Amino acid sequence: MNYIDSSLKVVGTRPIRPDGVDKVTGRAVFAADTRASGMLWGKVLRSPHAHARIVSIDTTKAAALKGVFAVVSGVDFPEIASEEAFVGEGPMNFRDLSLNCMARDKVLYEGHALAAVAASTQAIADEALALIEVTYEVLPHVIDVEDAMAPGAPVLHADMFTSGVSPKPEKPSNIAKVVTFKKGDVEAGFKEADVIVEGSYTTQPVHQAYIEPHACLASYAPDGQVQIHTSTQGHFMVRAYTAKLLGISMSNIRVNPAEIGGGFGGKTLVYLEPVAVTLSRKSGRSVKMQMTREDVFRASGPTSGAAMTVKIGAKKDGTIVAAQQVLKFQAGAFPGSPIGPGCMCGFAMYDLPNVDVVGYDVVSNRPKVAAYRAPGAPITSFAVESLMDELAIKLGIDALTLREMNAAKNGTKTHYGPVHQNIGFTAVLDAVKSHPHWKSPLKEGHGRGLATGFWFNIGGESSAQVHVNEDGTVTAATGSPDIGGSRASIGMMVAEVLGVPATAVRTIVADTASIGFTFLTGGSRVTFATGMAATQAAEKVVEDLKRRAAQTWDIPVEAVEWKDGMAYPAGSNAGAFEPLDLAALALKAGRTGGPILAEVSVNAQGAGPGFGAHICDVSVDKETGHVKIERYTAIQDVGKAIHPSYVEGQIQGGAAQGIGWALSEEYIYNTKGQMENAGFLDYRVPVASDMPMIEAVLVEVPNPRHPFGARGVGEVPIIPPMAAIANAIRSATGLRMPDLPMSPPKIRAALDAAG
Amino acid sequence: MTSLSYAAPTSVDDAVKLLAGSAGLAKVLSGGTDLLVQMRSGRLKPELIVDTKKIPGIIGIREENGAFIIGAGTPGAVVEAHAGLNAAWPGLVEALDLIGSTQVQGRCSLAGNLCNASPAADSVPALFAAGATAIIVGSKGRREVPVEQIPTGPGRTSLAKDEFILEFKLPVRPARSSDAYLRFIPRTEMDIAVVGCGISVTLDANGVCTAARVSLGAVAPTVLLVQEAADVLIGHTLDADTLAKLDAVAQAACKPITDKRGTIEYRTKIAGVLARRVAAIAFDRANGIKNGKAH
Amino acid sequence: MPTVVLSSGSAVQQFTAGQTEFEVEATTFRRLILELERRFPGLGKQVEESMAIAIDGEIFQDAYSAELKPGSEIYLIPKIGGG
Amino acid sequence: MAKTYVSATINGESAEFLCETQQTLLDVLRDVIGLTGSKEGCGSGDCGACSVIVDDRLVCSCLMLGVEAEGKSITTIEGIANGDTLHPIQQKFLEYAALQCGFCTPGLIVATKALLDENPNPTETEARYWLAGNLCRCTGYDKVIRAVMDVAADMRGETVA
């Protein structure tokens, strides 16, 4: 069924989320809050070197220490064949993942795990780590992406030959693959252009910086059954990876998703779980592991940094005739940067006849990247949307007008193939035009920037169950970890279908043994895909309830209608019966066919793409180079906001992360390839006093493929901020800042250089 | 495994004896906001922690013959709530207030900030500018030394193993005197100073500076007291020429390094910028013109 | 017959000897994969494991039953995840 | 290893525990006493997820030794509600959706309590600076600050539009 044009009672309201009280009282159980009988503490020994051969690891002394129950290193993990699959966020090579969890012959970045211990206390575990004797042969390392591509760079993987080029290279290199996308004839396009603008841009790797460090508790029983409690965006993903990496069957692994303290894409692969299971297997005890904040920065994945060039050609009237982009993305120590989406998203906002994009996936001695909100899109869009601003200036056309003229619409064919359908980009740009922020005069000394962003959003596999309890209340169970309020949105959709208040439905996240497979929480898919499954399950329950009412009244099921949470006889011909509510029907469930429940699993297609536009005003302290965000408005097509507060929250949070990416977040390496700022003191995420209020404007162009019209919302808001801020700085100072972060020293230096 | 002991003596003598008698590394704990971080990271592995907070007088603020005396372990939040200090030494108060978060303010102390001996410590340039002295106690008794003689290098102080600071004494304030402190950080809070600057001045009735002390943080291995900068101010109002000279001498005094928090070039330029801005606030205050906090 | 366009030049062009556009006899995504594998050994597997397809403009991930029409234009693109 | 006996008041109840010197108050709360509402996000006083109130002062429990708790009165997130009645701050955070993942929430609520105890009428800027030591990566702080300003007004008996 489709409810897009229905009048809704629950969807679109702002009830208190079902897990809210637990989270404001300290009751909520996160992974590090769990304990088990006889539990040990597991800790990881990490490489101090950026690149080294492991000559030997001697664990004798550590193993002999009193209170140590297991010591493991690479030899304790099965060799995994090179095999790629799509289990987490993007293609993953199982061998790479295994090597990332525990190094074998080489360590490839500072922080790379190479051994682990389980001990009765954390202090003993620390002491044991210090007793592990490792002999390294330190190798030359490379950090920067362009250095890593250069001939003669230290090669990380002797068996890696660039794919996507022909003929196949004869020598290994750090370039894992080359990706190209072409539409039309870009050379001919540039020949037609009256104006051509070009720019080179760089971005730094940034970490998702979820406040909760990775943590898990694993137990390997003598019969081979494994239990894992963990902080993850996908417990089925943890099960799959752990099974694959350790050679255990999935039926022997049960993963319980703990409350998750933020992920943003960073908890879509495994780090600790296979290690904890191995320690537990070896020690015969449960093992709890948690990363320190320093571990999180050094050993878990940020997103890529990049070096990029962009070239755009346009007619004098502003019509873009050609666009070209070269993207070099850092993948970290193993291939797998988001170069594909990077190549696809940069120009996806525009209707362009001739496009040529080339992308490189490049390894270097940094932690393996992980997904981070709209992976690849913020990077590529920073470059494109900065250059669009330059084009507008050069043409003397207003930044919004230039975008309106070239905006992608329904029917626009993208440069990577698909045709945009049911998109709301025009509606977003209209909302910019009519917004008081855009119309307000600029204050003295302030600058204003505009930038836009696109993300595909995804659907995929989800399972949901709806149970009517014996008293008529409702439980909804799904396989989607709740990272930012999805229990609320799922419960609301179920409540809407059942015709009951939101509070009548409790939503829970079921473990891997208690619900059908559900792909991880990411790509802004949960409200869309899991919401679709839950909606359909609720619809099945309604059909069942109607059948039960019909049975009770002894009338045909067609003569029963369901309204406001109750079964009514449909019209006077059906008979005169008092309506039956959920409680009444549940009470007699035993007589009408037994327990009332429905489970639906879907592979949801048709996730509607999301578009956003951000307006940002800044002031710049011209002596210190400090940028202050004075006003910020984020406008986005969300399809349909199921719970508007959490939709706004996604947009505000995404924008805040983008502001950090733009102004202050970066990885700082010393000459030895060691990270110098592995902590919240010097890895500078925005704090409350850095931020203005962020006005989130919800544009609702329904996605016809979702029962309520929802689109994913979590990814898009992190895309526009970097360029919006860069464009605002350009407006305030005349300076084009092509390198992130646009930190005070860079701005002061640029001001000085400009005189 | 080395075990870590803890003692919370209730007298100076007991504390000194504990420090003197420790075979391994002994650390004085007041607020612990640096010490605990260093212990956790493994940079420091003490065998004994001497918590001095139970020693009478080490926490609290009193006035003696017109001079303020601040207990060495007094938390930042207590100093900030003291009306008299806010009136006489607004710069020192705001400097202490800039250390860390509200949470850190509940614990951090002037002595800790000084003895951690970071060149970027926020309260230290303000203490230097104020001309504060420290009352140091140890097995050889009690001594009073200017604060600028305490830090000797990053993480190093002139205190003997069995010595610790009991309290700080601020000089009696002449009329038309005030101070100010600013630091530059990339964010608005929670960062370590890229550059810090504290200035204390006394003016005459015409607004001409008669006494000045200028201090810069994070531009050399220790916090600097910049006499040349004070000389530029003394005998002048804060006109454009004086400001330009102040900027130049502040920059000239810098001997910074390039690290994750700033470059040599940037730190040097910012030292000049801050010196001008801080002087303007201090002069305004001394002239009786109110200023808000230097956030 | 539906036309297949290799938009992403990466890992897939190595299977087609550089060919970027060709017609394939298939009526569903699943048959397309089998046909690709038959004509260009390795390509079907590659598409199956790490690619999504856009059929006449709409992106499909994993759906074997997705229908192809005689004039359908099919793009092979990298599979999309998210954060 | 020798442990120290410590007697303190936690959330209004007397508590006695043994702890090692290097254990922080956070370690003690979480691992010895079993109050896991206070979270460890960094262990270095930079994120505020472990915020507790010790004798009316807001502190990071990761920056205080457990042994220092002797004789102190400590309030953690578990002590903010009055029995089964939520504190107005907790209620307001729920109403404003001022949390997403909820990991930083205990620290933010404890810090807000300390703010309003000291300053019942903060400006937005004062609230933002007071809470600058409580990192939140999900919300962008917008709804958090709105909740704080609104609950402050409520607690002062004012109504805000």
Question: Could you read off the pLDDT of B190-248 as tens digits, one per residue?
Answer: 999 999 999 999 999 999 999 999 999 999 999 999 999 999 999 999 999 999 999 99
The CATH number of the structural domain formed by B177-286 is 3.30.390.50
Contacts of D46 in chain B (CB under 8 A): 101, 190
The average pLDDT across B162-189 equals 97
Contact D133 B102 (CB under 8 A): yes
> pLDDT tens digits for B53-78?
999 999 999 999 999 999 999 999 99
Q: Do C49 and A420 touch (CB under 8 A)?
A: no
A255 touches A226 (CB < 8 A): no
| Higher per-residue pLDDT: A180 or B291 | A180
B1-50 shares its CATH topology with B177-286 = no
Return the HEC string of A624-655.
CCCEEEEEEEEEEECCCCCCHHHHHHHHHHHH
Partners of chain C (3+ Cβ pairs below 8 A):
A
The ipTM of this complex is 0.96
The domains of chain B are located at: 1-50, 177-286
Q: What is the pLDDT of residue A755?
A: 84
pLDDT tens sequence across A310-359: 999 999 999 999 999 999 999 999 999 999 999 999 999 999 999 999 99
Q: Is the pLDDT of residue A517 over 90?
A: yes
- Give dist(CA D95, CA A645) in Å, integer: 9
CB neighbour list of residue A178: distance below 8 Å, 6 or more residues apart: A162, A163, A164, A165, A358, A359, A360, A361, C9, C10
φ, ψ dihedrals at A320, nearest 5°: -80, 130
Mean local confidence (pLDDT), A438-443: 97
Q: Which residues of C touch A90 (CB under 8 A)?
A: 79, 81
The pLDDT of residue C48 is 81
Interface contact flag, A685 D35, Cβ < 8 Å: no
Number of helices (H), then strands (E), in chain D: 5, 5
State the average pLDDT for chain A. Answer: 96
- Mean pLDDT over residues C21-38, rounded? 88
* Confidence band, pLDDT 50/70/90 cuts, at residue C69: confident
Task: Please tell me the predicted confidence (pLDDT) of residue B286.
Answer: 97
Q: Domains, chain A, ranges and CATH?
A: 20-28+459-604 (3.30.365.10), 34-139+212-261+267-299 (3.90.1170.50), 306-457+608-754 (3.30.365.10)
Say how far apart CA A512 and CA A257 lie, in whole Å.
8
> Among positive and negative, which fits the CA dihedral A141, A146, A147, A151?
positive
Assign A88 a pLDDT band (cuts: 50, 70, 90). low
Q: Is residue C83 part of a domain?
A: no
Distance to chain D for A193, nearest Cα, Å = 41
> Quick one: pLDDT band at residue C46, thresholds 50, 70, 90?
confident
**Can you give the pLDDT at residue D123?**
98
Report the CATH number that the domain containing residue C20 is assigned in CATH.
3.10.20.30
Let me know if chains C and A touch, i.e. at least 3 Cβ pairs under 8 angstroms: yes
For the segment A126-172, what is each residue's pLDDT rounded down to a tens digit?
A: 999 999 999 999 999 999 999 999 999 999 999 999 988 878 899 99
> Which residue has 């988001």 as its token pair?
A338
Sorting pLDDT into bands at 50, 70 and 90, what band is B183?
very high
φ, ψ for residue B231, nearest 5 deg:
-60, -35
The pLDDT value recorded for residue B1 is 47
Residues ≥6 apart with Cβ < 8 Å to A369: A205, A301, A302, A303, A304, A330, A331, A332, A336, A337, A338
Using CA atoms, how far apart are residues D152 and D115, in angstroms rounded to an integer?
9
Q: How big is the CA angle at A536 (ends A532 and A537), to the nearest 5 degrees?
A: 115
pLDDT attached to residue A571: 84
Mean pLDDT over D13-37 rounds to 97
Do at least 3 CB pairs under 8 Å connect D with C? no
Q: How confident is the model at residue B295 (pLDDT cuts 50, 70, 90)?
A: very low
Residues of D with Cβ-Cβ distance to B41 under 8 angstroms: 44
Residue C11 forms contact with A (CB below 8 Å): yes
Asked if the structure places residue C27 within a domain, the reply is yes
Residue C67 lies in a domain: yes
Q: Which residues lie across from A88 on neighbouring strands?
A: A90
Whether residue A748 and residue B188 make contact (CB cut-off 8 A), yes or no, is no
Q: Give residue C53's domain range.
A: 3-78
Q: Which two tokens stand for residue B30?
A: 């007041």
Describe the crossing of helices D88-95 and D142-155 by its angle, rounded to 10 degrees: 140
Are A689 and B189 in contact (CB < 8 Å)?
yes
Whether the predicted pLDDT of A86 surpasses 80: no
Q: Which of A211, A645, A684, A484 is nearest to D104 (CA)?
A: A211
**A682/B192 touch (CB, cutoff 8 Å), yes or no:** yes
Q: How far is A692 from chain D (nearest CA, A)?
A: 8
Residues 6+ apart with CB under 8 A from A167: none
Asked whether the beta carbons of residue A655 and residue D37 sit closer than 8 angstroms, the reply is: no
For B217, residues 6+ apart whose C-beta sits below 8 A from its C-beta are B119, B120, B121, B122, B124, B125, B183, B193, B195, B196, B197, B198, B223, B224
Which pLDDT does position A431 carry in this prediction?
A: 98
pLDDT in tens, A377-399: 999 999 999 999 999 999 999 99
Where does the pLDDT of residue B261 fall: very low under 50, low under 70, confident under 90, or very high at 90 and above? very high
Give the other-Cβ count within 10 Å of A182's Cβ.
Answer: 18
Q: Which residues of A touch D62 (CB under 8 A)?
A: none
Whole-number Å distance between alpha carbons of B210 and B201: 8
Which chains are adjacent to chain D, needing at least 3 Cβ pairs under 8 Å? A, B
pLDDT value at residue C7? 67
Q: Are A687 and B189 in contact (CB under 8 A)?
A: yes
Please give the C-alpha separations between residue A753 and each of A625, A749, B50, in angstroms, as whole numbers: 13, 6, 52
pTM of full prediction above 0.90: yes
pLDDT band at B15 (very low <50, low <70, confident <90, very high): very high
Question: What are the φ and ψ backbone dihedral angles of A375, each rounded to 5 degrees?
Answer: -50, 125
User: What integer is the mean pLDDT of C1-28?
Assistant: 78
Domain membership flag for residue C24: yes
- Both tokens of A730, joined, read 């350009």
Sheet with A287-290, edge to edge strand ranges: A68-73, A113-119, A40-46, A287-290, A215-220, A226-230, A253-257
φ/ψ region of B237 (left if φ > 0, alpha if ψ in -120 to 50, else beta) reads beta
Nearest CA in chain A to D139: A653
Task: For chain D, give every domain's residue range.
Answer: 4-79, 88-155
Q: Do residues B179 and B282 make contact, with C-beta atoms less than 8 angstroms apart?
A: yes
H-helix or E-strand spanning residue B84: helix B83-88
Give the number of other CB atoms < 10 A from CB of residue A631: 18
Q: Which residues of A touch C75 (CB under 8 A)?
A: 416-418
Yes or no: say if A718 and A209 are a contact pair by the CB < 8 Å rule: no
| pLDDT-derived band at C12, boundaries 50, 70, 90 | confident
- The rounded percent of chain A whose pLDDT value lies above 70 is 99
User: Chain D contact for B294, CB < 8 A?
Assistant: no
Please say if the pLDDT value at position B275 is more than 80: yes
Per-residue pLDDT at C72 = 87
pLDDT of residue C73: 86
Q: Mean pLDDT, chain D, as a whole number?
A: 96
- C-alpha A290: how far from its chain's center? 21
D51 Cβ under 8 Å from any chain B Cβ: yes
The structural domain count of chain C equals: 1
Residues A457, A525 contacting (CB under 8 angstroms): yes
Asked if B266 lies within 8 A of A744 by C-beta distance, the reply is yes
A265 neighbourhood in chain C, CB within 8 Å:
82-83
Task: Flag whether C23 is in a domain.
Answer: yes
Instruction: Judge whether C61 is closer than 8 Å to chain A, CB to CB.
Output: yes
* CATH T-level fold of B1-50: 3.30.43
Express each pLDDT in D33-87 by its tens digit.
999 999 999 999 999 999 999 999 999 999 999 999 999 999 999 999 999 899 9
| Mean pLDDT, residues B107-116 | 96
Q: Do A163 and C11 touch (CB under 8 A)?
A: yes
- CATH architecture under which domain D88-155 falls: Orthogonal Bundle (1.10)
| pLDDT for position A187 | 97
Q: Which CATH superfamily includes the segment(s) D4-79?
A: Beta-grasp domain (3.10.20.30)
- The residues with which B142 forms a beta bridge, in sequence order, are B137
pLDDT, residue A167, reads: 82
CA gap A206, A666 in Å, rounded: 6
Contact A213, A268 (CB under 8 A): no
What tens digit of pLDDT does each residue of A595-618 get?
999 999 999 988 999 999 999 999
